[in-house]
Structures are given as C-alpha cells and as structure tokens.
Amino acid sequence: MKIAIFGATGSVGSECVRLSLKAGHEISVLVRNPQKLHPEFEGKIHVVTGNALDYADVDKTILPGTEAVLFAIGVDKNSPENLCTDVTSHILEIMRQKKVGRLVWCGGGSTLVPEDKVGFGAKFVKFYAEKFLSLRHFDKENQYELLSNNRDVTWLGVRPVQMKAGKHTGQYRLGFDSFNGLSTISFSDCADAMVGMLEDDTWIGKAPIVQY
C-alpha cells in the first residue's frame, strides 16, 4: 500500500514508519528536520522537508496514488494552538482531491466519545488533561470534532491514555472498555494498532481506546 505518514520523527510516528516498512508499504513522510529520522529508514522512504501547517508541503507529501494517510503528530507545550486540527484540515481537503481512501489517526484518551463507558476514571482523565495538558487536550478534541463533521472521508483511529517506551508485543485491547489514568500502551503497540487499521475496516468512523 502507498501511504503518507505525518509525525514520522516522533515516538509513535517513528514506530509507524518502522512497522509500515515491515508490512511492505511504500512510504512518504513530511518532516521539518530529516536528520531526526531514524538512520534505519535512510533510502527506504520518500522524504519531504517542510511544515505540516503549510498546505503546499502537505500536498507534496500525499503523492499521486496514495491510498492511506497515518497521522501521528504529537502536541507538546511549545506546539501551536490547534496544530493537529489545522493539519488535519489540510489533509482532508487533499485526500478528497486525490481520492485517498483512508485516514488513520492518533487521538487522545481525554477526548470522550459517545461509545465510551464513562466512569470515574475516564472523568478524571478528562479533568486532569483539561487542567494540566490543555493545549493537547483541546486540540485533540477539536480534531475529533472536525473528523466527525467530515464523514465523507473514511477515517478511523486510536485514543491512547498514557503512552510509554516499551516493547512491541502486538497484544493489547481496542474498544470502548472502561479506562483511567493508569491505562497504558507502548508507543510501538499504539503504532501497531494504527498500522493494522490501514487494512482493517472494523473501526471505520470510530476511535477506540488502545490499552493493555
């Protein structure tokens, strides 16, 4: 499959690249600094240097014939407001123009969705994120709302709560089970779930929690 990956130098994005290569996919990535790409990717992927907030750079990355997009851009305290939402807006427009079949994205566990079993744990996750991680929380909420309002484009994704370094096990839960601030997933297994969604229609139009 011919795919484009955004966020390829991050913890989840680099794992998306690694696992996509292992699966035999043809990959194009957009990065601000190519030197941050893992050395093992050299010569194996198409690299565009630029900024995902620039529509033209996103357009260059989603090559003709692209079949799917993986969105793994993260948000930290220095990120622009609504980074993920604004980049996703570019991606959706270009996907329509180029007839790209699917978007798989990484959201956040503090974004509660109608299918969730919302208990005290989930409410605490949202409260904590709103208070202490507000830039990331509200961007991911806005991104989910944007996608929910653009269902003419096929999308699906995952919502991790706490991500951490760890082994690639391939063993985790996807769904709308109860979760809380102790729910974890490794960067690699989060990426595994995303790459699996490239060819699995189970979660189309949904964003399940990914957790052990």
Residues 179-207: tens digit of each pLDDT: 999 999 999 999 999 999 999 999 999 99
Quick one: average pLDDT of 172-176? 98
Segment 101-133, tens digit of pLDDT: 999 999 999 999 999 999 999 999 999 999 999
Neighbours of 121 (CB within 10 A): 16
Closest by CA to 5, choosing from 33, 207, 16, 52, is 16
Reading phi first (left if > 0) and then psi (alpha if -120 to 50, else beta), residue 3 is in: beta
When the pLDDT of each residue in the chain is averaged and rounded to a whole number, the result is 97
Give the predicted TM-score (pTM) of the model: 0.97
Per-residue pLDDT, 13: 98
- Break the chain into its structural domains and give their ranges: 2-211
Reading phi first (left if > 0) and then psi (alpha if -120 to 50, else beta), residue 7 is in: left
The token duo for 54 is 């620039």
Q: What's the CATH fold of domain 2-211?
A: Rossmann fold (3.40.50)
For the chain, what percent of residues have pLDDT higher than 90? 100
Angstrom distance (rounded) from CA 75 to CA 98: 27
